[in-house]
Structure 1
């Protein structure tokens, strides 16, 4: 401790001696950084994001070297602004906050104002977190008042009004627009003229002052044509297009939308983005490099200071010997960790790539299998319905069974993949446990008759009539367990027992037992059967199955927070048991039932348009629709759909997604751009989770995955048509 104090005192003396030299060096670095920051800002305003990022990186290095917090903050601010323009939202927010961190170390309230305003922009217009964004705007206004810069406050009021108008809160945003209007002559300029006129147009449109709105939008566009603010001009075209669409001036609306797209494409040239991404990557590397440079610079500074004194050199020799040993050890550790980390990174990248390829492969295979399966199942059903004499045909029964078995296999593989990627979310549906088990029993009657088995059911009478939970996942668990029991049992019985285990507030814990008196499972195999693609007990007989059923059961129970218990002995049968909590809330149950209740008794004849390029699928879907006494028309592609809806009115459109020339998403978007509100249902072989987001953005109302149960299709058709007519 004493030696350390001597060393510290001598170091302070040397630091005082070299202070002037360091101050001079810092001043030169600050001048250089300031010049670079200004140059980076010019490149940013010219939309040359690549150059701006590169120059900002150099400026940040110089500012860090000079320990000039104000310039560091300004450098990070420009970096964040570049990422903002490149739509790298999370990176932009990261660097804005980093800029704010260094700005708070200074008394520069102007840059604090700008940063809070920029963060407000990010959260309002990029992250859509408007409460958080507006709170940043208000902090920005506070700093604007502090520096008495009403010109800056004017700009922030424009942003707040814009944020409120974007989410349709025109009353809340109008006071800010009124402030802007009262101060336009005093503080407004060419940079805000476009936006202010656009906002006035939006408010006038909301107030149904159509002539005023039209004039404001045209003023905004006229101002934008003579301005460098091309981004604001693009938004003016977009909002004017929305207004014109509402007024059913579709041709002008389309022209303005085209202008918006043209300007946007010009601003965000793909080549610029690719080059800027490389520059951004180098910037991130420098972020780590600066930490190392900081340590190295401090070591060099200390070394230069110590050379000024022989006494310090002598003392430092002793310290250096110790440090040398530590550094050698540290270098070895760093090299080892670096090598180990590189191996881990490579392994992680390989695993992620393999996972992505697996997901893409499964998605493609499932789509390619479901499409022909839809035709096979549909045509088989048509043959059985139209030719009653074939009802006893073993060939048709085998064909239908094989198609449904293959579909079950596809669904099992998709299910296990979703669970492993944490894409399965439990739903809250109301159900009757007795009805669900009866349905499972009936659906497995063919399998039970095949092996001459009986299915016995016992349900505790203390269980409420209606429960709330994910009945679909529960049914999947029970279907797998009961079908498994039936496969491995002959001339016996399978029991489904449901007891009330306990009640905690509104939650009823149900204990399920699936018992059979079949072949049983050996003790050595009991830990294996829950693994994927593992099958046991095939020595004497060939039992059908994929080896996925019990693996899916275990993973689904994990989502419920439950575990499965197994008791079995060879030749004595098997018993599986588990406990799942379900909610019992009569009021909530009534609300759920009211929301999903659909009246299918209507005598109205609906007119349905089928957009489908596969001829077999056209035939199957048309037969299903016409069987319900609906009028049906079929077109082969998206262009045919756009053409026919101009001539005829339809109650609902069934839209295939994977079509040549123009897919279902693009077709739906174009239908919506025409102002047509006819419900659109995607009829697709894609997995629903894969296309939900794009379907919503395209204006599609619902999704049905092929093959499907006709009753489900008619429920959705009836609900959507009636909902549309009620709204109209």
Structure 2
């Protein structure tokens, strides 16, 4: 008893000391926050993205406390730049927009210039929405002109030229190209010299001046091999191969296309090295196991000591007069009750750790889906496309038309389509880009046919977005339930209804199928209900299944919504 009392007193004292420390903690000054922000930028430029993100998020929390829009915008910019470097373009796009919203409240034209430029990069090179990209590039150009930053003016006009040329609007991009050619030597950067030569080559190829085009393309490739601008060198190989193909030099076109493919694969592999490895989840599970073993051993030791203490007390009580027998009995009951509580606590901890292991396994499956989908889309699909292009180049060069080649091309196209479909099935594009509700509407539409009709009803704005992991988990839970209807229910009508209530997502799935006896549901196989329940438990939600034979089935799910986290970092964006 005395031991337990001492432990309780120590815990109370520790809590009081923690409260005192936190109550004395003050928000750093603007100067101190700026220093932390600069550290985050240095870490990002050194390639230490994880530490940079941690410091940037710390900067954001301080900046929000200081209500300093300039620091907030800078922090969002750094977070976005880290995700940009990690090729997480959707996240980068989100935080660049957050940063721009705060930057527009300040007079920091330099930061506005960077944010607009980076949004232009994402629209042009990731989203392929060139009109929007050019709009942001021109906004960036306005700010760089306003602050008289000559080097940034040259850089932004180069981006605008590239965007126009990439969509074949050469005459619109020509004025910007002329400006760069005139001032690049004075204000330009060595990192853009490869791109400049490539753009000149593209323009003269468009003007059907092969001599000048050849000169600039060869110069771009030479400079690219001498420097470290792999991305620009990759584009140069690609555009040069197009030029050679246009001029009938199929052999060299093929060589440059192969160099472009090799360099693209190398760049993709470098991107993947920066991303989290799924093996980390296995390490986390092992850590959970070690932790529960440690806790279990500690409780066994305490339990053993408690039993020893009880044994000594019993020996002492046996020698005491009969008047103390009642006291002994009461003490024994209390000791047994304490022992039972210790065992129950241990069981609760083991149960919690088991649940954590299941949760980690489920999260690992989702992460593996994303990784496999990305690999299929970025590598296998690209290889199949490349193979098709090689075959087209070969047939064009050798003027060979045969049934075998035609069938081979058809097989490659079919393989490419199947890989793309599998990638989208593992991680739907609509889900990643537009959110849960667009993806579910598309899922209902795809599953509807002459045999069964899926109706979709929602009272939440379709554009609503939640936390990315939350949306992925909810999508695959609902997809599994819809698959059960298709495979087992023999229904002709089904309805998916979604609404929000008190920060919870309420989902009801009904069908007019054959139904089943819920009292015997545990003996049915193939429904995957245990995994669905585990996923919902992982989200701290509830599921209720109502069904009767020949009266259809209704499944009601309620899950607390996990909203998008407001994370931030401050750094001048990637270019």
Mark yes or no: TM-score above 0.5.
Answer: no
Identify which of structures 1 and 2 has the higher relative contact order when contacts are C-alpha pairs closer than 8 Å and 6+ apart: 2
Higher percent of residues as helix? 2
TM-score band by shorter chain is 0.3 to 0.5
Instruction: Give the alignment's TM-score, normalised by structure 1.
Output: 0.36
Instruction: Give the alignment's TM-score, normalised by structure 2.
Output: 0.45
Larger Rg: 1
